[in-house]
């Protein structure tokens, strides 16, 4: 007996809309923040909201865009920053995301980058001056918002 199952196709960089990418970016960030104990509040970094050009024509005109969001993690005690970073690392690994780099743990200035599975969104946790952490997610390069999607 043969059993087969039809799996829906995963969206690709050519079929994901800006709205879908924003939903995924927000979900990745919120799921990560929810894994922190003690919990942290998310504070949007406003300059992270417009689509960012990530590919240009020969004339220098943006042709493709990435969708980004960055949030400060507020309410973490200074000594809890490294603990929070370890929790983020562990959460991303548990979700099957690839960790691509880590650093700064030994100095209390942790940073982690990764890639989400299965869709290749960039994940980042970074230390900033004043013992602050921010959490970010960025979509792959996408066609312009008004471009027809296959």
Q: At what angle do helices 81-94 and 18-34 cross, to 10 degrees?
A: 120
Total number of domains constituting the chain: 1
pLDDT digits (tens, 9 = 90+) for 10-69: 445 567 899 999 999 999 999 999 999 999 999 999 988 889 999 999 999 999 999 999
Give residue 5's pLDDT. Answer: 36
35 domain residue, yes or no: yes
Please write the tens of the pLDDT for every residue from 103-130.
Answer: 999 999 999 999 999 999 999 999 999 8
What pLDDT does residue 2 have? 36
> Containing domain of residue 124, as a range?
18-80+90-138
The gap from C-alpha 10 to its chain's centroid, in whole angstroms, comes to: 18
13 assigned to some structural domain: no
Q: Please report whether residue 74 resides in a domain.
A: yes
Is residue 44 included in any domain, yes or no? yes
CA distance 131 to 39: 16
Is 60 inside any structural domain?
A: yes
Taking alpha carbons only, the member of 148, 145, 149, 150 closest to residue 65 is 145
Question: Please, what is the average pLDDT of the chain?
Answer: 88
Within a domain: residue 127?
A: yes
Q: Identify whether 66 is part of a domain.
A: yes
Q: How far apart are alpha carbons 136 and 134 in whole angstroms?
A: 7
Q: Is there a domain that residue 149 lies in? A: no
Cβ proximity of 125 and 88 under 8 Å: yes
């Amino acid at each position: 007996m043969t059993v087969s199952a039809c799996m829906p196709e995963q969206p690709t960089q050519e079929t994901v809309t800006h709205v879908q990418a924003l939903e995924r970016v927000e979900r990745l960030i919120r799921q990560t923040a929810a894994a922190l104990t003690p919990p942290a509040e998310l504070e949007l970094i406003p300059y992270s909201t417009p689509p960012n050009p990530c590919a240009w024509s020969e004339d220098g005109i943006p042709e493709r865009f990435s969708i980004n969001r960055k949030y400060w993690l507020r309410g973490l005690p200074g000594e809890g920053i490294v603990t929070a970073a370890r929790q983020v690392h562990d959460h991303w690994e548990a979700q099957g995301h690839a960790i691509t780099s880590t650093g700064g743990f030994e100095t209390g200035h942790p940073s982690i980058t990764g890639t989400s599975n299965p869709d290749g969104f960039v994940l980042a946790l970074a230390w900033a001056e004043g013992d602050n952490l921010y959490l970010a997610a960025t979509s792959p390069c996408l066609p312009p918002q008004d471009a027809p999607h296959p």
